[in-house]
Structure formats: structure tokens, C-alpha cells
Chain A
Amino acid sequence: MVASSLRSFIKDVRGAKTLADERSIITKQSAKIRTKLRDDHLSNEKKRVNIQKLLYLYILGEKTHFGQVESINLIASDNFVDKRLGYLATILLLDESQDLLTLLTNMLNNDLQHPNKYIVALALNTLGCLSSTELARDLYPDVENILQTSNDPYLLRKALQCNAKLIFKDRSLLEIFPLSIISSKLLENPIVCTHGVLLGVCKVLQAIFISLDNTLQKENGKGDTEDESTEQDLQQDITIIRTISDLIPQLSTRLSSLNSKNLEPAYDVQGIQDPFLQCELIVTLKWFFKIGNHLNLDEITQYNNNFNDLLTQLATNTSAAKNPGNAILYEVTKSIFELKLTQPLRVLGINILANFLTPSKNSNTGNNVKYVGLNTLIKVVPEEPASVQRYRKFISQCLYDYDISIKFRALGLTFAIMNEQNLTELTTELVKFLGEISKSHYSYVTSYIDMDDSKDLIVYTVDNLLKKFEIYSNGDEKAKLDTLLTILKISGTFIDLEKTNEFLIALNNMDDMKYKIATFSKELTQILDPKIKANTLIGNASLDLVMIWCIGEYTDLIKLDSSTDKKIVNDNSIVKYLSDLNDKYRLSHDTRMVHYILTAALKLSSKITNGQCVENLRQIIVSHSKDANLMLQTKSVQYELLFNQPDAVKKLFLQAMPKFEKKLINATSVQRHNTTISKAQNQNNDLLLDLLTDTVEKTSPSEVLKPVETKQRDIIADLLASTGNKSQHTGETSTSIPIEVVTLPSDAVSIHDGVELQVYEKTIDISPGLAHLELYIQPKNSKISDIQPLCAVPKTQKLTLSQLRPSNNLDVGKFVKQTLKITGSGKLKLRIKLSFQKDENPASESEQFDYKLDKTI
């Protein structure tokens, strides 16, 4: 059974027990309405019920398009109730873009001239809500007619509002608008001039200004190209503005008296006389002066001082106790800053806004004004920084507000006012704030803010603090280091590892080495002291990361530092700590951390002497040689190779980080970076080739190797880049290696005399199971670059190649040295292939030869 009256339909829908029930009721009813509305013989009363039901469906969010035409038809009825429902349905179901609106033209035209003022009001209301440009043009005369002839404030205010909308739709209507009636009829006659009519007048004036503002903007956009129609528009508009400018004193007086007296209880809103009208008047006057000052019209600028006085009066007289008063005060400050008024007024504006922030306000209303106050202050800080500074305390208090959006804005404002002088003070405040918010993040019971929100807050704070530290880098370094560490400890868990890199950069670039070392010595002591042992338990990856990095960088210095307690901080404990971290992050599959651990282990190995500890470090590195993560695995294998290098070689690689300059990495430095990387890469290539050519296959090994090699190079580049802060490091580290000149020793023997290359060999040392050889390569005719020595030894032996010295690019006559270490047994035999590029020619050439030593190991 489908309900017949609107009431029972609504009851049915409300009474539905399940969603499916509800859906079925709605679908049935919707189908029924559709059929009924199609029935031409349906009585108006029934039709009305159906349209009402349709509107209920609209509120529920159902499809209602099928009733649009019927709604419009209902307007044609002579019955007021039908007409009213028809207009309501039309307003709700149609929007301004629909063609159906043209159907309205005639009906509206008739109703706008109707003797019944309620019907006229309905028509005005509809036209104000739904008007296409065509409707606006066609019906404008009717609206103007009402303005001219009617004396009923009820109709006048509606006609004015409607008029304002029509001007929006089509600015050309402005030219025929009878401006004179505003002053001659509307404002003069006290019976006509109600608050509603004044609101309407304000809206019409605002519509005029907005349309003029658009013209001005078009004018600016056009620039030199003179557009005649815009120019004409502009002149016309200026004439209009001149005409209405004599309204300024009248409107000002209205506003002033509204603000100072409180006579009519009908317009009293929480102790404020009609705040709606006051706000509209302020906005309207603001428009007058905005346009007037822009065009420098004497008619308007002569009132500038009066307006300033008026704003001062409003600011001092309006009570800030309740929302309506605040709305007015807020509008006053907006005018002050939008019109860029004099400095005393700007200070006044800041004072009003700061007053919004005072904590004495009770919760909800208080937060509303805090919100708008902070929002506006953020915008005006650049204009009046000193005045805003005075309210630092208020702003800081807002950090602890209950409302997250207020917290965020207070933070934004705090950073906006931060400068070199107040850096320390505000940082202390923010660190305190971070502590609070991090704590609340974990206390589920007392926490009133969302976990995600608190994380956002922390991340935002830390990001901006880091940025500020970078800008004011000349500040007190010690305080800065302490702050950074405190931030890390408090909120390290929330900080992205990428962000932690910026901490590392900041630490790395710090000049005061002594303080830095002393601080980290203290930190390490705390972590390593078995009695304290608290920090490692918390999953603060960012702090761990910084400690790992410091161990890699500064262990030697920390050990030397006099403040270090050698009983707690020593090789054993440090290596043990690193090893624990390795286990921890290996289990948690946090590969990014492991990268850092590997690098730290490698670096540490060159800084400690205890054999067992060095072995433990090696174990850390080896522990990832079968890692499922390819990058880690590669890194582990490569680091192990580096690990086994003689100390002298290692030291060169593992020098302390240079100062990091944050710059955009330009193309050349990337290139330099790549070439240095490939230098370090050589030995790895060789090893791989060694494996490949071991089977004495002649299928040009370098080709087989090519893809692997380039890929590897990338990986290595990545790895090094991720261990250092940015890829630039690697470049700089490598260039800091002094360039040595290799000379040919006297006892070297020539073993190959090819087209391009001459190769000499020198035996350093041969003992059972081990041989040390050196190869010297010399270009004969032209400059050679990118030499890749590929060597193979018999299967019973193992070959380790070191890095080419001094580089793999060399000029004619110069030498490049390649050290070979052969382990195993059997006769010493070598197959050597040298691939290279000649004269920077990208095509690679190669020379290959065999060499037998008459020695056995």
C-alpha cells in the first residue's frame, strides 16, 4: 500500500526498519508520483500533494527531474498556495543553467505586475535565485518599475536584492539603473528606509562596485592594447561612482548611529544593534574607498579621514563579548588592512585581532574568534610585524588550544613572526609544544586530538624549525645542536627518515667540533651505560639513525675526547651497540636503516684497532650478503671488498664527510660524480669479469658485462648517495684524495706492446699461496679514457683487483697503476683485456694479451 498523504509518506519513510524497506517505499512512491504528474486531469490539490512529496524526495537526495515541468506549470495557477509551492519547487529543482527557465519568463512577467504584493514577492524571490542573463534582461524593467512606484518596504527590499542579482548577471543593466532613487526616495523617507531596505541598498551598491572592479581588472589585464568597449565601460562606471559618492556621508552617519545607540529592540542581537546591517555598511563603505582611492576620485578621497575616524569609533565602541560584536570588529580590521590605512589604524587592527586571542574567552565562541583572529594575523604579519610580535605570548598560548585548526594556525603564525632575535625564545616554546603533543599522541586516554593530526602537527613544526635554522644559521651553534637533539628525542618517532637527513646535514655542517663531540660523547654514554639503557628500547628510528651516523663519523674523536668515560664508551660497547641495532633493523626489515648501519660499520672499521671488534664489524656487513633486498645485498658485498682493503686505501675512502652545501645539483657535478663512482667501481667489474672469464670463454666478456656494469654503477651511485646525505658528498670525498703521479719502477718488465697501450709488470712479492703484482699501463699515441682492466687467472686461483691509480683517464706517456692480489695455488698465469676509449671517442676499443710468469704459488 502506497501512502497517499505527504504526512503518511514521510511517516512511512521514517518508519522503515531497514535500508531496503526504505528504498522500496521510496521507489514505489517515486514511480507513483511520476504517473500522477503525467495525468492532466489531476486536481490541483492532488497535484500539490504530489509536488510536496517530490520535494521530500529532493531533500532525501532522490532523482526529481521528472517533476520540473509540472512545478513550473503549478506557478500558472491562480491559487496563491499552488503558486507558492510551484515557485518553491522551481527554485529547488531547477538551476540557472537549464533551458527550462525560459518557460518562466511570461509567468514571472505577469506576477511581477500582480496587484497582490505577496505574489510579487514570490516572483522577485524566484528571479533573485534563478536568473539567466536572458531572464535578467527581459524582466529588469518590471523590477525597476517596482523600485520606482512601490512604497512598501517589504517589496522594495526584495526588489533591491533582486536588482543586485540582475546587475551581477548583466552589467549593462547598470547603465539604465535609476541611481537617483537611492538618495531621493529610499534613504530620505523614514517609513521606506527600514533596515531591510538599507541592506538592499548596500547590496545594489556592492554589485555596482564588484562589476566595476571586474572592469578595472580587465583593464589591467589588457595592458597596452586599448580596448574601446572596456575603456567606455570604465568611463561610464566612473560617472556612476561620482554620482553615488554623495551617499558616503549618509551611509557613514547611519553606521555611526547604529553603532552608538541601541534603541530598537527589534534589531538587537545579543546586545548589538543589527550587526548584519553594520557589517554590510562597513563592506559597502570599504568598496567606496577601495575604488575611489584606486581611481583617485576626489569625490571619494575627501572622505578618507572621516572614514578612518569612523573605523576608530567602531573599534572602540563595539563590545567584543559576543559573536555579533566580534563580527563587526573583524570587518573593521579587514577594512583597515584591505585599504592599507595609516599606521596607527593598522596597530589598532592588530590590537583587535590580538584581543581575539585572549584566553579568557569561553570555549566555543572563544575559539571562533581565535580562529578568525589567527587567520587574519597570518595575512597581515608582513605589513605590521612589530605589532604582531608584541602578542607572542597570546599566540603561543593558542598552541595549546583544544582545536586542531587553531593549533595549526598558531603554529603558522609563530613561524611567520620568527626572526633572528626571537629565535631562541620561540624555539624553546615550540620544543615545549612538541613535547606536549608527542606525549598526548601516546596517551590514548587523555588525548583529545586525532593521532594523524598530532603527527601532522609534529611534522609541520619540525619541518619549519629546520627551515628556520637554515635561514638563521649564524645563531648560537651550541643551542642549536641541543635543540636539534631534544627535538629528535621528543619526536623522532614521527620524523621521516628523509627529514632526518636534514638533521644530519645540520650536524655535519656545524663548526664547533669540540662541543659537538662532547655532546655526542654524552649521548653515547647515556645509551651505552648499562644502568640507564633506556633509549634503545624506544623505537625512535630517527635518533638511532643519528647515533649510527655519529658512530661512523666521530668514533675516533669521541674516543679522544677527555669527557668520554672510557669504561662505558669503548670499541667493544660501540660495536656491540651497532651490532644490536643491526639485528633490530634487520628483523624489522627497515632497509633504509640497514644502509646506514652498513656504512657506519665500514667507516668504524677504519677507526678502531681491536681485532675482535673489527671482525664483529665485518660480521655486520657480511650478515647482509644474502639479503633478500638486492640493494642491500650488493652493498654488503661491495663493502666487504672495501673492508678487506689495506688500511691506507680504506682511509682514503672513509674520510670524514666534508661540509655539505645545500645547492641544486647541477649537471656538471652529477657528471663528475658519475665518473668518480665508476672509478671506485672498477675493481668490482674486474671481479665479475674474473668470474666470467674464468671459464676461458672468448665471447667478448666486456659485452656480456656491459649491462650488468651499468646497472651496478647506478646501484652503487644510489647506495653511496643514500649513505651520504646527497650524492654530492661522494664527489667531494673523492676529489679530496690527493692526485698522485705514478712513475714506472726501474725493475718493471714490459709484458705487452700493443697498438695503443704499453703494459709493464712488476712483481712485488710472491709467497706460497699469495702473490702481489702491479701492472703499469701507458698510452702510446693518444689520450685514453675510461680504462677498464679485465683480468683472469686459472681456476685454482683467486684474483683481487684494487682501484686503478691515479685515475682511469690518462694522457700520452703517463702511467696508470693496477695492483693485483692473487691467492690460491698453481702457476701464475694471467689473461688481461684492457678496454678503453681513445680521444674521448665514445666507441670502446680493447687490447687483449696473455702473460705467464715462471713462478708458482
Chain B
Amino acid sequence: MGIRFMLCFNKQGVVRLVRWFATSDNSTDPQEEISQIYRLISSRDHKHQCNFFEFSDDTKLVYKRYAGLYFVIGIDITDEEPIYLSHIHLFVEVLDAFFGNVCELDIVFNFYKVYMVMDEMFLGGEIQEVSKDVLLERLSTTDRLE
């Protein structure tokens, strides 16, 4: 059910965002899991290979590369992949509009704001708002409170 985790790392594998929505019940170290995901994704041909693959017995990964950054969503093995690709795309579009032509450095230095965007879009791993306009309006309101 829903998104298990969301990750963002660059081509060198430096993690820019981590978010676990569901407590992972397997005993593997999360850091080890992240580097494993990075190794798998970075070795894929992003032009010709599809954006989905099975990561473990219960997790599938949906990822997309935007410039030098990979955005990865982990979902349940029974969930359907294509719609989550749209999740990623919407998230990146909102980030882009919020920061104004977003780049990796925006995410590095304003990671807490990126989390704010994430929390406006997703709740407990489920998408809660899909309108870019609504999202941006909320975000600018809360951003001004700072």
C-alpha cells in the first residue's frame, strides 16, 4: 500500500533526500539498502531501459533521472508502477515551480523545504493533493510564515 520510501541521489550516489514512509521490517541496514539501490540504478541505461524494476521480494522501484539527479520511489510488489512515475514527475514539477528552475544545489541547501513540499503532496506515503496550483499556493503561504 502506497509509497514505502522516497529517495533522491545524484549520479555520484550522494544522497540528497531520504524519506521512509513505512517502517521497513527487514533487518537490512537502510544505508546499505540505499547504496544497493544506487548501484542498481546507476548501472542501468536510462535512455533504453524501463524505469521500473523489482528490487526485492516485496519491493519494486520506480525511478526517473532528471539531469544529474535520480528520484526513486519504492512501492509494494503488488502496486502498479506507471502511476508512480507520474507521482515522481508531479513532485519534480512542483519543486521546479517552487524553487524556480530547480537545481541540485537548491535541494542540497534547502532540503527542509523539499521535505515540506513532500509533506504537502504525500501523507503517510499516499498522494493527497495532485493540483500543482493548489500545492504551490499552500507552499508559498507556509513558506512566508518563516
Contact = CB atoms under 8 A, between A and B. Distances in A.
Given A88-B115, A269-B86, A367-B50, A95 B23 contact: yes
A368 interface: yes
Contacts of A406: 50
Interface stretch (B67-75, B95-103, B128-136): B128-136
B115 A92 contact: yes
- Helix, strand, loop or mixed for chain A's interface? helix
B145 A276 contact: no
Contacts of A324: 82-83, 86
A10 interface: yes
Given A7-B109, A129-B123, A279 B129 contact: no
Nearest to A60: B15
Nearest to B16: A59
Contacts of A323: 82, 85-86, 89
A529 to B, nearest CB: 43
A326 B108 CA distance: 33
B119 A81 contact: no
**Interface hub of A96, A168, A196 (most chain B Cβ within 10 A):** A196
**Interface hub of B49, B90, B145 (most chain A Cβ within 10 A):** B49
A45 to B, nearest CB: 12
Given A55-B111, A84-B116, A368-B81, A195 B131 contact: yes
Given A88-B115, A195-B131, A269-B90, A275 B83 contact: yes
Interface residues of B, number: 53
B86 A364 contact: no
A66 interface: no
Contacts, number: 164
Contact of B83 (A267, A327, A363, A371): A327
Interface in A60-76: 60-61
Contacts of B131: 194-196, 266-267
A177 interface: no
B130 A59 contact: no
Interface string A165-204: 1001000000000000000000000000011100110010
A368 B82 contact: yes
A327 B80 contact: yes
B72 to A, nearest CB: 14
- Helix, strand, loop or mixed for chain B's interface? mixed
A277 B130 contact: yes
B83 A196 contact: no
Q: Assign chain A's interface to a size class.
A: 35 or more
A702 to B, nearest CB: 57
B45 A448 contact: yes
A637 interface: no
A448 B43 CA distance: 12
**Interface hub of B86, B124, B133 (most chain A Cβ within 10 A):** B124
A326 B138 CA distance: 30
B80 A196 contact: no
A59 B20 CA distance: 11
A367 B31 CA distance: 30
Contacts of B112: 52, 55, 85, 88
Contacts of A331: 80, 83
A-B CB proximity, top 10 nearest: A327-B82, A367-B50, A128-B124, A402-B48, A327-B83, A161-B123, A371-B50, A61-B31, A403-B49, A266-B131
Interface of A: 7, 10, 14, 52, 55-56, 58-61, 80-81, 84-85, 88, 91-92, 95-97, 118, 124-125, 128-129, 154, 157-158, 161-162, 164-165, 168, 194-196, 199-200, 203, 206, 210, 266-267, 269, 274-277, 279, 323-324, 326-327, 330-331, 334, 363-364, 367-372, 402-406, 448
Given A61-B31, A200-B128, A371-B81, 9 more contacts: A59-B15, A61-B34, A81-B145, A157-B129, A195-B129, A327-B86, A368-B51, A368-B82, A402-B48
